[in-house]
Amino acid sequence: MRILFLGAPGAGKGTQCKKLAKKFELTHLSSGDMLREAVKNGTKAGLAAKEFMDKGQLVPDSVLIDLFREKLSQPECAKGFILDGFPRNIAQAKSLDQLLSEIKANLDTVIDLYTPDSILEERICGRRICPNKACNEVFHVKYSPPKVEGICDACGTALVQRSDDKAELVKQRLSVYHELTSPLIDFYQAKNLLHKVDGDGEQEDIFAAILKVLNVKSIH
Protein backbone atom coordinates (compact mmCIF):
# COMPACT_ATOMS: atom_id res chain seq x y z
CA MET A 1 0.00 0.00 0.00
CA ARG A 2 1.58 3.25 -1.16
CA ILE A 3 -0.46 6.36 -0.42
CA LEU A 4 0.12 10.08 -0.91
CA PHE A 5 -1.73 12.72 1.13
CA LEU A 6 -2.32 16.23 -0.19
CA GLY A 7 -3.74 19.10 1.84
CA ALA A 8 -2.86 22.58 3.03
CA PRO A 9 -0.98 23.21 6.28
CA GLY A 10 -3.35 22.43 9.16
CA ALA A 11 -5.59 20.14 7.11
CA GLY A 12 -4.88 17.25 9.47
CA LYS A 13 -2.70 15.17 7.18
CA GLY A 14 -0.33 14.20 9.97
CA THR A 15 -3.08 12.97 12.28
CA GLN A 16 -4.75 10.85 9.62
CA CYS A 17 -1.45 9.51 8.29
CA LYS A 18 -0.42 8.33 11.75
CA LYS A 19 -3.74 6.56 12.27
CA LEU A 20 -3.49 4.91 8.87
CA ALA A 21 0.14 3.91 9.37
CA LYS A 22 -0.73 2.27 12.69
CA LYS A 23 -3.74 0.41 11.30
CA PHE A 24 -1.92 -1.04 8.29
CA GLU A 25 1.64 -1.09 9.72
CA LEU A 26 2.96 1.29 7.07
CA THR A 27 5.92 3.66 7.21
CA HIS A 28 4.78 7.28 7.65
CA LEU A 29 7.09 9.64 5.80
CA SER A 30 6.38 13.23 6.84
CA SER A 31 8.45 15.87 5.10
CA GLY A 32 7.85 18.22 8.01
CA ASP A 33 9.05 15.75 10.65
CA MET A 34 12.01 14.70 8.51
CA LEU A 35 13.06 18.31 7.97
CA ARG A 36 12.61 19.29 11.62
CA GLU A 37 14.71 16.30 12.68
CA ALA A 38 17.42 17.35 10.23
CA VAL A 39 17.29 20.92 11.56
CA LYS A 40 17.48 19.74 15.18
CA ASN A 41 20.41 17.45 14.39
CA GLY A 42 22.20 20.25 12.56
CA THR A 43 22.75 18.29 9.37
CA LYS A 44 23.80 20.05 6.19
CA ALA A 45 20.30 19.71 4.75
CA GLY A 46 18.78 20.77 8.07
CA LEU A 47 20.80 23.97 8.31
CA ALA A 48 19.95 24.81 4.71
CA ALA A 49 16.26 24.15 5.35
CA LYS A 50 16.06 26.18 8.58
CA GLU A 51 16.70 29.49 6.83
CA PHE A 52 13.65 28.95 4.62
CA MET A 53 11.39 27.41 7.28
CA ASP A 54 11.90 30.34 9.68
CA LYS A 55 10.65 32.70 6.96
CA GLY A 56 7.61 30.57 6.16
CA GLN A 57 9.05 29.70 2.76
CA LEU A 58 9.18 26.29 1.14
CA VAL A 59 12.39 24.29 1.40
CA PRO A 60 14.19 23.88 -1.97
CA ASP A 61 13.30 20.79 -3.98
CA SER A 62 16.84 19.45 -3.92
CA VAL A 63 16.82 19.15 -0.12
CA LEU A 64 13.49 17.33 0.03
CA ILE A 65 14.31 15.02 -2.86
CA ASP A 66 17.57 13.93 -1.23
CA LEU A 67 15.78 13.19 2.03
CA PHE A 68 13.07 11.11 0.38
CA ARG A 69 15.47 9.26 -1.90
CA GLU A 70 17.27 8.02 1.20
CA LYS A 71 14.08 7.07 3.03
CA LEU A 72 12.30 5.33 0.16
CA SER A 73 15.35 3.17 -0.47
CA GLN A 74 15.22 1.70 3.03
CA PRO A 75 13.83 -1.85 3.56
CA GLU A 76 11.10 -0.60 5.90
CA CYS A 77 9.38 1.09 2.96
CA ALA A 78 9.18 -2.12 0.93
CA LYS A 79 5.98 -3.18 2.72
CA GLY A 80 4.29 0.14 2.02
CA PHE A 81 4.44 3.80 2.95
CA ILE A 82 2.44 6.98 3.35
CA LEU A 83 3.83 10.22 1.92
CA ASP A 84 2.84 13.30 3.91
CA GLY A 85 3.90 16.75 2.69
CA PHE A 86 5.78 15.61 -0.40
CA PRO A 87 5.55 16.31 -3.28
CA ARG A 88 4.60 19.98 -2.95
CA ASN A 89 4.75 21.00 -6.60
CA ILE A 90 4.71 19.53 -10.09
CA ALA A 91 8.50 19.38 -10.34
CA GLN A 92 8.68 17.35 -7.12
CA ALA A 93 5.85 15.11 -8.32
CA LYS A 94 7.82 14.28 -11.45
CA SER A 95 10.92 13.65 -9.34
CA LEU A 96 8.85 11.36 -7.12
CA ASP A 97 7.72 9.40 -10.18
CA GLN A 98 11.39 8.91 -11.03
CA LEU A 99 12.25 7.83 -7.48
CA LEU A 100 9.41 5.31 -7.42
CA SER A 101 10.52 3.99 -10.80
CA GLU A 102 14.00 3.44 -9.36
CA ILE A 103 12.60 1.24 -6.57
CA LYS A 104 10.04 -0.37 -8.89
CA ALA A 105 7.00 1.00 -7.08
CA ASN A 106 3.91 3.04 -7.94
CA LEU A 107 1.47 5.13 -5.94
CA ASP A 108 -1.82 3.35 -5.28
CA THR A 109 -3.92 6.28 -4.11
CA VAL A 110 -3.68 10.05 -3.65
CA ILE A 111 -5.98 11.56 -1.01
CA ASP A 112 -6.68 15.30 -0.93
CA LEU A 113 -7.86 16.58 2.47
CA TYR A 114 -9.61 19.84 1.62
CA THR A 115 -10.49 22.42 4.31
CA PRO A 116 -11.43 26.16 4.19
CA ASP A 117 -8.55 28.56 4.90
CA SER A 118 -10.34 30.19 7.85
CA ILE A 119 -10.48 26.87 9.67
CA LEU A 120 -6.90 26.05 8.73
CA GLU A 121 -5.66 29.34 10.21
CA GLU A 122 -7.38 28.63 13.53
CA ARG A 123 -6.01 25.10 13.65
CA ILE A 124 -2.44 26.11 12.89
CA CYS A 125 -2.15 29.10 15.21
CA GLY A 126 -3.52 27.12 18.15
CA ARG A 127 -1.27 24.12 17.68
CA ARG A 128 1.29 23.29 20.37
CA ILE A 129 3.86 20.50 20.15
CA CYS A 130 6.04 18.56 22.54
CA PRO A 131 9.70 19.18 21.63
CA ASN A 132 10.75 15.89 23.23
CA LYS A 133 11.96 13.83 20.26
CA ALA A 134 10.90 10.60 21.97
CA CYS A 135 7.36 11.93 22.41
CA ASN A 136 6.30 14.38 19.67
CA GLU A 137 2.74 14.69 21.01
CA VAL A 138 0.60 17.44 19.46
CA PHE A 139 -2.04 19.51 21.27
CA HIS A 140 -4.33 22.44 20.45
CA VAL A 141 -5.23 25.27 22.80
CA LYS A 142 -8.91 24.99 21.78
CA TYR A 143 -9.62 21.56 20.32
CA SER A 144 -7.31 19.25 22.29
CA PRO A 145 -5.70 21.16 25.18
CA PRO A 146 -3.32 19.41 27.59
CA LYS A 147 -4.58 18.62 31.10
CA VAL A 148 -2.12 21.17 32.49
CA GLU A 149 -1.78 24.33 30.39
CA GLY A 150 1.48 24.37 28.46
CA ILE A 151 2.61 20.93 29.64
CA CYS A 152 2.67 17.68 27.64
CA ASP A 153 0.30 15.05 29.07
CA ALA A 154 2.57 12.21 28.00
CA CYS A 155 6.00 13.25 29.26
CA GLY A 156 5.67 16.51 31.19
CA THR A 157 7.80 18.58 28.81
CA ALA A 158 6.86 22.24 28.27
CA LEU A 159 4.94 22.59 25.01
CA VAL A 160 6.07 25.00 22.30
CA GLN A 161 4.65 26.69 19.23
CA ARG A 162 6.54 26.02 16.02
CA SER A 163 8.04 29.17 14.52
CA ASP A 164 6.12 28.65 11.27
CA ASP A 165 2.82 28.20 13.16
CA LYS A 166 2.77 31.84 14.26
CA ALA A 167 0.01 34.04 12.86
CA GLU A 168 2.21 36.29 10.74
CA LEU A 169 3.48 33.31 8.76
CA VAL A 170 0.29 31.26 8.47
CA LYS A 171 -1.37 33.31 5.73
CA GLN A 172 1.87 33.28 3.75
CA ARG A 173 2.15 29.49 4.08
CA LEU A 174 -1.41 29.01 2.83
CA SER A 175 -0.84 31.40 -0.07
CA VAL A 176 2.29 29.51 -1.09
CA TYR A 177 0.39 26.22 -0.84
CA HIS A 178 -2.41 27.37 -3.12
CA GLU A 179 0.03 28.75 -5.67
CA LEU A 180 2.41 25.81 -5.89
CA THR A 181 0.69 22.72 -4.49
CA SER A 182 -2.88 23.00 -5.71
CA PRO A 183 -1.87 22.14 -9.31
CA LEU A 184 -0.98 18.67 -8.01
CA ILE A 185 -4.70 18.00 -7.73
CA ASP A 186 -5.01 18.19 -11.52
CA PHE A 187 -1.75 16.26 -11.96
CA TYR A 188 -2.95 13.25 -9.98
CA GLN A 189 -6.53 13.54 -11.23
CA ALA A 190 -5.15 13.00 -14.71
CA LYS A 191 -3.50 9.81 -13.45
CA ASN A 192 -6.86 8.65 -12.04
CA LEU A 193 -5.35 8.42 -8.55
CA LEU A 194 -7.01 11.35 -6.77
CA HIS A 195 -9.76 11.10 -4.15
CA LYS A 196 -11.08 14.13 -2.24
CA VAL A 197 -11.95 13.79 1.45
CA ASP A 198 -13.57 16.60 3.48
CA GLY A 199 -11.08 17.59 6.19
CA ASP A 200 -13.56 19.72 8.17
CA GLY A 201 -15.05 17.33 10.73
CA GLU A 202 -14.34 14.94 13.57
CA GLN A 203 -11.11 12.97 13.25
CA GLU A 204 -12.87 9.60 13.37
CA ASP A 205 -15.37 10.62 10.67
CA ILE A 206 -12.55 11.78 8.41
CA PHE A 207 -10.64 8.54 9.04
CA ALA A 208 -13.75 6.50 8.18
CA ALA A 209 -14.05 8.41 4.89
CA ILE A 210 -10.40 7.65 4.12
CA LEU A 211 -10.89 3.95 4.83
CA LYS A 212 -13.90 3.97 2.51
CA VAL A 213 -11.73 5.41 -0.26
CA LEU A 214 -9.11 2.72 0.28
CA ASN A 215 -11.73 -0.01 0.22
CA VAL A 216 -13.10 1.37 -3.03
CA LYS A 217 -9.58 1.16 -4.42
CA SER A 218 -9.37 -2.44 -3.15
CA ILE A 219 -6.01 -1.91 -1.47
CA HIS A 220 -5.26 -4.43 1.27
Catalytic residues: 13, 88, 127, 162, 173
| Phi, psi angle pair for 174, to nearest 5° | -70, -40
What whole-number distance in Å separates Cα of residue 113 and Cα of residue 96? Answer: 20
Write the CB contacts of 127 (distance below 8 Å, at least 6 apart in sequence): 10, 138, 139, 140, 161, 162, 165
What whole-number distance in Å separates Cα of residue 174 and Cα of residue 189? Answer: 22
H helix count then E strand count, the chain: 9, 7
The string of DSSP letters for 82-123 reads EEES---SHHHHHHHHHHHHHTT----EEEEEE--HHHHHHH
Which strands make up the sheet holding 194-198, listed edge to edge? 27-30, 81-84, 2-6, 109-114, 194-198
